[in-house]
Each structure stands twice: as C-alpha cells, then as structure tokens.
Amino acid sequence: MFSRLEQLPPDPLLGLMELYRNDTNPNKIDLGVGVYKNERGDTPILAAVKQAEKNIFDEEATKAYIGPPGAASFNLAMQQLLFGKGHAALSENRVRTVQAPGGCGALRVAAEFIKRCDGNSNIWVSDPTWANHVPLLGGAGIKLKSYPYYDYQKHEVKFDAMLETLNQASNNDLVLLHGCCHNPSGADLTNEQWQQVTLLAEQKGFVPFIDLAYQGYGEGLSEDVYSIRLMSERLPEVIIASSCSKNFGLYRERVGSLSVIAANRKEADASLSHLTNVIRGIYSMPPSHGAAIVSTILEDDELTRLWHQELKEMRNRLNGMRALLVDKLSSAGASRDFSFIVNQKGMFSFLGLSGEQVTALQKNHSVYMASSSRINIAGINHNNVNYLTRAIISVL
Ligand code: LMR
C-alpha cells in the first residue's frame, strides 16, 4: 500500500531550516522561519517562562487528563489577554474559549467547527497569506477564496481593492484577518481601516475569523487586539485563533487558544459543545505544559510584569533592526528605497526581490529567506547587518 506514495519535497519554509543547518559558511544568516532571535542569534527561554516552569515543577500534583477544552484557568487567562477585563462580549457571556495545540491547532479546530456550522461556507484569505493557512483550513475541506491585500509596488495594504472584493462575501462566509503583524507582509490595517472592515462585516453578515499569532509584537499587547475588541463588541459572531508561540516564546510546547464569540449565551454554549466534540475526534485533549506556563505567568503579577518587560524588549529589538537595516541599505547606496520596512510590524517584511535574487542570496552569500523574499527581521543583528547589506546590494 505504501508503495503507491511518491516522495514529497520538504515544506518550503521548514526545509530552509535544514538547508541553513547544513551550510558551513561562518557568515550564514537565517531570515527564514518565524522564530524570535536575540542579538546573539539565540532563541532563549524567557525568564518569566523559566520561573513559571519552576513553580509548576514544585506545585503540579497530577498528570491526569485535562479534558478536550483544556485547562479552565488558561482559557480564562487567554480571554482576559484578548479582550481585557470587563469587555462587553465577556459580560454578555457570549465568549467560549478552548485551549489548542498552538495557533495551528486552533485554526484546524476552527475549520472543522465552521464545517459543522455550514458546509457551504467559504473562507476568504488575504493575498498573500501565511502559506500554512491553505492546508490547515483547506485541508478540512473548506473552499478558500482570496482577497487582494498587499501591494508589492507600493509596499502597503491595497485597502480599496480589499474592501471591494470582500463586498462579494456572503453571510455564510468567513474572512480570515491577521489581527496584527501580517504574515508574510508586515503591513497591517490602521484602526480606521479595521472600523471599515467591521462596518462591512455588519452590512454583509460575513464572520471575521481573526488569526492572532503575534500579539505584543506590533505596538503592544492591547494595541494589537484593537480589531478583536472592536469586532467582538460590534458583531454577533467572531472567531479568534490565538498563538502563544511567539509572544511567550513557547514554540515547541504547542500552545494557543480558540475563541468563539456567539450572538448569545445559548449559541455560545452550543458552540462550545461542538468545539469539545471536534477536539475529542481529532486529538482528544491538548497537551498541558505550555498552557500551564501561560496561566502561571498571567495569574501572577510579578511574572506578568517580567513577561511584559521581556515582550517589550523583543518588540523594541525588532523595530530597532528594521531601522538599522533600512539605514545601512540607504547609506550603502542601495538603488531602491527600503524605508517601507520601518513602517511595517512584527517579524516579517518582503524585501521585494525576485526568485532569482533570493536564490543568488542563498547560493552566493548563504543568506536564507522564503522564496517570496519574506525576511524574518529577528535574524538580523549588529554583527551580521553589514554582511547582509552588502549581500542584498550585490543582487539588486
Ligand atoms: C512562519 O511563518 O515562519 C512561522 O509561522 C513558522 C511556521 O510554522 O511557518
């Protein structure tokens, strides 16, 4: 039976990790997969996480199952992180949150849930979007449609074209929106644009499905959830997939959450019963450790302060590296204006290079990035920025 299978190529993004690892050039630079790195190029465990793990080690009393929806303490802590205390959707008892194995787990559970709500729903995704959205959502059997998002010439959101296309979405469709730090472009909607999308959702009846993988990496923890708080207050139905991989640095622990905001308490309860049932049928229950770390931090004022501080340092470093790269490219006389990189948010920006230029950077300079020329800003530091600048200029 297995003899029928053809060997598949490695995942384009994850395959880069392997190529980078095997490259012996001491000057190699990894701007590929979206993992935060510090000035030394390491991805250390946050101090708040280390302390929370020590507390868990001392205090954890059982390894018994936690149940399909995950830990209630984690789900509550995530609701407060997403909505803030006292948000209308919480006080109206319209929100139900389940723990999920990473943002990816949350997206897939959401897709299965959507299929149960309406087998004919389409999900509209931005062009471009994170490559893994396609198998995670489409793999559940949902039809994906795309709306224009990023203007590669102007390096900004094509907002008018986006709205014009979303005007075609029907009231049983969902629109996948990146809550902040759009992956792969780094180009985000302004608050005024979020208001316009909310208004359109109100008029057309489509359901916003917000993927929030970078809360705290854009402008701040509450600034980055502007869309979530606005839409959940104004609209009857919203879905939110949230990841703790980047902001807590818990990549390998696989921790995230899925929140469904329903029109009323009864529909919220019915939604939770379906989420629970979907989870039971896929992986039965989520792993506990990562979620326990997150709730331990968020339930402790001192650890929360430490985490806020560490998150701010990561965000400031990314913004600093954006400015440094732009400055170096401009002082080195780059034939193009890269200043748009400073205005973008989070881990990623497109350099705007062709496939050939990306290949030349990899082959001739050991600089690794996605074939779309998406770069992970966190891979830049003071030691490699001059080498990187020379390499980019040489392929322009
Ligand atoms: C990325 O876009 O690089 C990250 O979200 C990691 C991944 O799984 O693709």
Q: pLDDT tens, 334-389?
A: 999 999 999 999 999 999 999 999 999 999 999 999 999 999 999 999 999 999 99
What is the pTM assigned to this prediction? 0.97
Which atom of ligand 1 is nearest the CA belonging to 13? 9
Between CA 226 and CA 177 the distance in angstroms is: 13
Which atom of ligand 1 is nearest the CA belonging to 370? 3
Tokens of 320: 């600093």
Which atom of ligand 1 is nearest the CA belonging to 103? 5
Pocket residue to mutate for ligand 1, from 30, 130, 185, most atoms within 8 A of Cβ: 130
Tell me, rounded to whole angstroms, the distance of Cα 322 from its chain centroid: 19
User: How far, in Å, is the centroid of ligand 1 from the Cα of 336?
Assistant: 28
Which atom of ligand 1 is nearest the CA belonging to 245? 5
Between CA 324 and CA 164 the distance in angstroms is: 36
Residue with the smallest CA separation from ligand 1 atom 2 is 34
Cβ–ligand 1 contact at 73 (below 6 Å): no
Q: What is the pLDDT of residues 133-168, one digit of tens each?
A: 999 999 999 999 999 999 999 999 999 999 999 999
Cβ–ligand 1 contact at 132 (below 6 Å): yes
Per DSSP, the residues of 307-364 read HHHHHHHHHHHHHHHHHHHHHHHHHTT-SS--THHHH--TTEEE----HHHHHHHHHH
Q: What is the pLDDT of residues 315-340, one digit of tens each?
A: 999 999 999 999 999 999 999 999 99
Q: pLDDT grade, residue 286 (50/70/90)? A: very high
CATH node for 10-44+303-395: 3.90.1150.10
Tokens of 268: 């919220």
Residue with the smallest CA separation from ligand 1 atom 5 is 34
Torsion of CA 162, 166, 168, 174, to 10 degrees: 150
Between CA 284 and CA 268 the distance in angstroms is: 21
Between CA 225 and CA 222 the distance in angstroms is: 5
Cβ–ligand 1 contact at 372 (below 6 Å): no
Residue with the smallest CA separation from ligand 1 atom 6 is 34
User: Within the chain, which residue ranges are assigned CATH 3.90.1150.10?
Assistant: 10-44+303-395
Cβ–ligand 1 contact at 278 (below 6 Å): no
What's the whole-number average pLDDT of the chain?
Answer: 97
Residues in the chain: 396
Supply the DSSP symbol for 142: P
Biggest distance spanned by C-alpha atoms of the chain:
62
Helices marked H in the chain? 12-22, 47-59, 72-83, 88-91, 102-117, 133, 159-166, 191-204, 226-234, 265-282, 289-298, 301-331, 340-343, 355-365, 385-395
CB 276 within 8 A of CB 98: yes
Helices marked H in 260-300? 265-282, 289-298
Cβ–ligand 1 contact at 183 (below 6 Å): yes
Q: Is 11 considered catalytic here?
A: no
Active-site residue (options: 37, 124, 130, 188): 130
Percent of the chain with pLDDT over 70: 100
Q: Are strands 122-127 and 95-100 parallel, antiparallel or unpaired?
A: unpaired
CB 109 within 8 A of CB 98: yes
CATH 3.40.640.10 fits 65-299, yes or no: yes
User: Within the chain, which residue ranges are assigned CATH 3.40.640.10?
Assistant: 65-299
Q: pLDDT grade, residue 226 (50/70/90)? A: very high
Question: How confident is the model at residue 12, as a pLDDT?
Answer: 87
Active-site residue (options: 37, 158, 246, 328): 246
Percent of the chain with pLDDT over 90: 98
pLDDT > 90? residue 35: yes
Q: Is 246 considered catalytic here?
A: yes
